[in-house]
Chain A
Amino acid sequence: MEPRRRRSPLSPVWGRPEHEKVVTGCQEKIQHWKKVESDYEALQERLQTLPDKLSYDIMVPFGPLAFMPGKLVHTNEITVLLGDNWFSKCSAKQAIELVEHRKKHVRKALDDLQKVMKNFESRAEFTEDLQKMSDAAGEYVDIREEIDDDSIETKGKYRTAHRPHSKPKASNVFEVDFPANGSDTKSMGRFQSEEELWARLEELERQEEILGELDRMPDAVEANGEDATSSEEEKDKETDVNGTCGAGDCITQGNFHNEVANSDLFVGQLNGSAYYHSDDEDDRGAGDNAVPTIFFSHTVEPKRVRINTGKNTTLKFSEKKEEAKRKRKNSSGNGHPTPELPNIKTPADIYRVFVDVVNGEYVPRKSILKSRSRENSVCSDTSENSAAEFDDRRGVQRSISCDEATQSDTSEGILEEEEEEQQQLPKKLPPSSGTAEAFSGTVIEKEPLSPSLIPHPVLAHPVLPTILERKSEELLSDAPEEPIKRISKFKAARMQQTQ
């Protein structure tokens, strides 16, 4: 009692009320058990004296309110409740033993309750003491660990966007190329022969240049020579980048490299970020010719993929580019526009240029949009690709597989023609060409060349061929061809072949 009194006036501590509850509960139970014990004691007492007499006069309860006088006769005959309404008949002595047994149990319960009560009392005291201590002295310090927000942010910090030259794109390239290769394999043999063919053509071209058959300026030749060397570098780079490409791809790749050798300057500039260093070299080499350099970077590198998908169409495009480059060079050297080529002054002209010539007839390309979309999507291979582009490509792949079936049909016939034409050295240039105005010194990313762009740049930089956007390559490659006066026979042949 006393300790509780001491505690009661104190301010409440957390946990203490619970302890108090337990203690009071224990006390109640103890009380109950004590009463039971006392009852048993009374019973025991009664039982001890009950058999002393033969009979007892008693008042027998008759309901809760009434009593009847009676006699207790069987004083030594007691029925004991065992539990669950089962009784056993026994003598008073046995009953006393039973009562004793039950009293033991009751005492045990009492002891347990006492222990529990003490335990909780001590706990209550402890919490009380704790509060006293915390109230009294500042010995106890709050220890906290604060989490810096930085640690959470670090996760995001290390995320960086892919750089334009970063390798992971190679995997993308591979992904895209693989299915294309499958379709390529069937035409492998032809390509091999083609490759040789192109190599031969190139050689001849070079010889032409060296002999001055094209009336080139000496510096132009020089530039070409350097181009050849730089093109080698480019080849290496390309192979590096394309390292992941399949075997079938490599064959086409070789073909492609030949073209690159011819059109390296053009390509280098066109490729922009992908071949930036080689660009520099080219430009330096051309710097002797006072060729202004335009640096730019863009995300487009269509060439590779086109070759992968490609066969005829790809060859066509790259050829045209090459041609355009050559022509531009010539024009820069000589300054005469080629009279044969149509001037592009209106969009309509561009369209005309853009048309394919099949058997001397203009056949508008059915899938201009398709092919271009393919280019666009494809372009993202070497350059940065956004997720959207990637998706695009996938979609394109599907369409490509369809395209190829049709393309291969037409292309075979054309290829046969090519062989013949090669001997004839056809003079007719493809209609695809543009005026000097058609290309500009400015590069616009991912926008087809618009007529508005046409007027300015060439005049500003007459020496250097314009740098064109990959995306609009199809258009552009056609357009810049105009200013070129002379062209190698072999080139011309190629161009016709492509058509």
Chain B
Amino acid sequence: QVPGYTKGEQKSVLFASNKKHSVPSIKEQKVVVDELSNLKKNRKVYKQQPNSNIFFLADRTETLSECKNTLDELKKAHQELENSEKAKIKK
């Protein structure tokens, strides 16, 4: 756990790196969204610059919306994959 300013920042990092591994990344994304939505309003949210160790201060509501969007995308992709697999099995 990186210092306790926010929890969401780490989740976002995970989200970025695990985009393609749908199932775990979906889970993470769910956690991130959950955390962000449960944060107090005065809390600061930092977002890590990918491939570096710097965290930029980000807007909490914006981050939450971003995370929700990505979660939706991930869910969609996951759905598609499952559908295609099912179709193959049927064939």
Contact = CB atoms under 8 A, between A and B. Distances in A.
A39 B53 contact: no
A87 interface: no
Contact of A42 (B3, B46, B51): B51
Given A59-B5, A67-B2, A67-B3, A42 B49 contact: yes
A59 B55 contact: yes
Nearest to A43: B51
Interface string A273-316: 00000000000000000000000000000000000000000000
A342 B16 CA distance: 133
Contact of B51 (A39, A56, A66): A39
A59 B51 CA distance: 15
Interface string B20-61: 000000000000000000000000001001110111110000
A58 interface: yes
Contacts of A38: 50
Contacts of B46: 58-59
Nearest to A68: B3
A61 B56 contact: no
B59 to A, nearest CB: 11
Contacts of A72: 54, 56
Interface residues of B, number: 13
Interface string A137-180: 00000000000000000000000000000000000000000000
Contacts of A67: 2-3, 55
Interface of B is mostly: loop
A103 to B, nearest CB: 14
A84 interface: no
Contact of A58 (B3, B16, B51, B57): B57
Contact of A46 (B5, B49, B57): B49
B12 to A, nearest CB: 12
Contacts of A363: none
Contacts of B55: 58-59, 67
A416 interface: no
A459 interface: no
A67 B54 CA distance: 9
Interface residues of A, number: 14
B64 to A, nearest CB: 19
A204 interface: no
A57 B57 contact: yes
B54 A60 contact: yes
A34 B85 CA distance: 25
Contacts of B5: 59
Contacts of B56: 56-58, 72
A58 B50 contact: no
Nearest to A56: B56
Contacts of A39: 50-51
Interface string A50-73: 000000111111000011000010
Interface in A26-42: 38-39, 42
Nearest to B53: A61
Interface in A474-491: none
A376 to B, nearest CB: 100
Contacts of B16: 42
A46 B50 CA distance: 10
B1 to A, nearest CB: 10
B90 to A, nearest CB: 16
B50 A42 contact: yes
Nearest to A40: B51
Contacts of A56: 56-57
Interface string A370-406: 0000000000000000000000000000000000000
Contacts of B51: 39, 42-43
A318 B32 CA distance: 129
A75 B5 CA distance: 24
Contacts of A42: 16, 49-51
A233 B46 CA distance: 129
Contacts of A43: 50-51
A8 to B, nearest CB: 15
Nearest to A42: B50
B73 to A, nearest CB: 16
Nearest to A38: B50
Contacts of B2: 67
Interface in B55-74: 55-57
Contacts of A60: 54
A59 B3 CA distance: 10
Contacts of B53: 61
Given A57-B56, A67-B2, 11 more contacts: A38-B50, A39-B50, A42-B16, A42-B51, A57-B57, A58-B56, A59-B3, A59-B5, A59-B57, A60-B54, A72-B56
User: Across chains A and B, which 6 residue pairs bring their CB atoms closest together, nearest first?
Assistant: A59-B55, A57-B57, A61-B53, A42-B50, A39-B51, A59-B46
16 contacts: A38-B50, A39-B50, A39-B51, A42-B51, A43-B50, A43-B51, A46-B49, A57-B56, A57-B57, A59-B46, A59-B55, A59-B57, A61-B53, A67-B2, A67-B55, A72-B54
